[in-house]
Homo-oligomer: A and B are copies of this chain.
Amino acid sequence: MVLSRTSQYAVQALIYIATQPAGEPVLNRDIAERLNVPAAYLAKILQSLCKQGLLDSFRGRLGGFCLRDGMQKTSLMQVLLLTEGPDFTKSCILGLKECSDHSACPMHFKWVPVKKKIIAMLQEMNLEELAKAVRTGKYRLADLPAAALPA
């Protein structure tokens, strides 16, 4: 019931970045502090998301990470396809290499409709919306009291 830690950090960080004023780069260090996750590891994850086109990065003073233009509405599904790999939704729950309607594992026909629900849920949540809900104070992004929010 479970995403890899890498995916969890990625989603948390992306939502956090989306809560911040667009165009102003956010420091890796600040994200890491705010989310209470290892900074050096988070940096790797963010760098990878840059290469994959979700984020822009800027070096030097006033540097940091921003959502790339037009990526505000990226769905969690798209994010997880990047962090978990393109087979994220494709694999058999019991690990069979071949498992389809035609030749199925014993869980297949119960699992497929549930998996569809999961996919639908992930597709209907996007960074902008989630960030908005976090900004209103409705939700917590980390195991810490909601941080003071920018005016």
Contacts and interface: CB of A to CB of B under 8 A. Distances in A.
B110 A140 contact: no
Assembly of this chain: how many copies?
2
Chain A interface size range: 35 or more
Majority DSSP secondary structure for residues of A touching B: loop
Interface in A85-143: 88-89, 91, 93-99, 103-108, 110-111, 114-115, 117-118, 121, 124-125, 130, 133-134, 138-143
Nearest to A76: B107
Given A114-B121, A117-B117, A106 B1 contact: no
A89 B142 CA distance: 20
Interface of A: 1-3, 5, 8, 11-12, 15, 76, 88-89, 91, 93-99, 103-108, 110-111, 114-115, 117-118, 121, 124-125, 130, 133-134, 138-143
